[in-house]
Amino acid sequence: MENHRLFEPVNVGSLHLPNRIVMSPMTRVFSPGGVPGENVAAYYRRRAESGVGLIVTEGTWVPHPGASGIENVPCFYGARALEGWARVASEVHAAGGRIMPQLWHTGLLASSTLDSIDDKAWLTNAQIGPSGMVGATGEMPRRLGRAMTQADIDAVIEAFAAGAESAQKLGFDGVALHGGHGYLFDQFFWKETNLRDDHYGGGIAQRTRFACDVIKECRRRTGRNFPLMFRMSQWKLHDYNAKLCDTPQELELFLRPLIDADIDIFDCSQRRFWEPEFSGSDLNLAGWVKKISGRVTMTVGSVGLDLDLMPSLMGQTSKPASLEKLLAMLDRGDFDLVGVGRSLLVDHSWAAKIQRGAHHELLPFSPDALATLS
C-alpha cells in the first residue's frame, strides 16, 4: 500500500505532513498531577517513529478553573506541565514527527476539583455553560450549573489563547481545539443547551460566536502560519442521536463563521466514518464539511476496526477491519486526512503495518489492552 494516496504528503499552510495518517486525540490518565512525564513522551515518540504523519495529543486542560474534572489528565499550563510537554514535542520531532496539543474545556460536564496553576490553588465547583443547562434531544433542559457571564466568557477566551501561545512557544506544529462531543464549545453550538438571548445565542450561525471569538484570539496570538484544527461532531456524549445540523444548508450556516474565523483543519468526528451524514448523498461528515468549506478535513470514527467505541467500552473486543471503503473515499477526495484512534492506541506500529501491507499483524482492541499501553 506504499504508493496509495494515504501515504502521499499534504501541506496545511506552512505545515508539511509526510502522509495522511493522523493520531486522533484519545484521553489517557497517565499524567499524575496533570504533568506528562517521560512515559508520555515515549508513548508519542513511538507513534512518530512508526510513520504517523501527525499526532494530536489527548485532550489537555486549558488554564481555567472550570475546565478540568478528570484526575491524571494532563494540563497545558503551569511550569511543570509545560516542561513535560516541551519534552513530548522534542521527542516527537526527534523521531521526524509532527504534533499538536488538543486544548479542552468540558464546561457543564466538568466536576468539582482541586486545581492548581503555578502553585496557586483553589477549590472550584465551577460547572459553567452558555445557559447552565443540559438536555438530550426532545427533552426539557435541566439545570446542571450556572450560565456564563461575559467575564466568564472573556476568561475562557484568554485561557485558550494562552494555551495556543504556549504551544507555539514550546515548538508544537499547531494547536487543536476540542469543539465536539458536548463539551463547552458544543454547549454553545447546540440549541438544547444554548438558551441565551444575547449575541452568543440565537440561530445556528449566532451560536458559533463564542468559538469564533476563541479562534480569532488564538490566531491573533500565534499568527497566520500556525495551523489551527477544530474538532466538531453532531453527536454528544449524553445524546448519541443529537444533530447540530439536519441539512447541508444548515451545516453551511454553521460552518461559514468558523471558516471566516480562519480554521485550517476541520476534525470531523463520527462514531462510524462510513455512514452518510445526510439523506440523498453518501458523503460522510468530513465529506460535507470539505465540500462546503474547501478547507482541509479529517475523517475519524472506528477506522480500522469492526466495532465503534461504545461496544468496546462495554467490554467487547473490536477486530481489525478492511480499509477498502475508507481508501475509496479518500481516493475520491471526500477528505484529506484520516484520524486513527483505538487502533493506534493499542498498536504504535499500526501505520507501518498498513504501509507494508501486513494486515495479518494488526492487533484487536479490547478494554484489557488499555492496562498495557506502550
C-alpha cell at 116: 492548581
Q: Where are the alpha helices (DSSP H) in 141-243?
A: 150-169, 184-189, 209-222
* One-letter amino acid for residue 117 of the chain: I
Burial class (CB in 10 A: 0-12, 13-18, 19+), 173: buried
Choose the catalytic residue: 44, 77, 183, 200: 183
C-alpha cell at 215: 479562534
Dist. CA 47–CA 338, nearest whole Å? 15
Dist. CA 124–CA 199, nearest whole Å? 27
Q: Where are the alpha helices (DSSP H) in 206-347?
A: 209-222, 248-260, 285-293, 309-313, 324-331, 342-346
- Mapped onto helix, strand or coil, the DSSP state of residue 175 is strand
240 flagged as catalytic:
no
Q: Which active-site residues does the annotation give?
A: 183
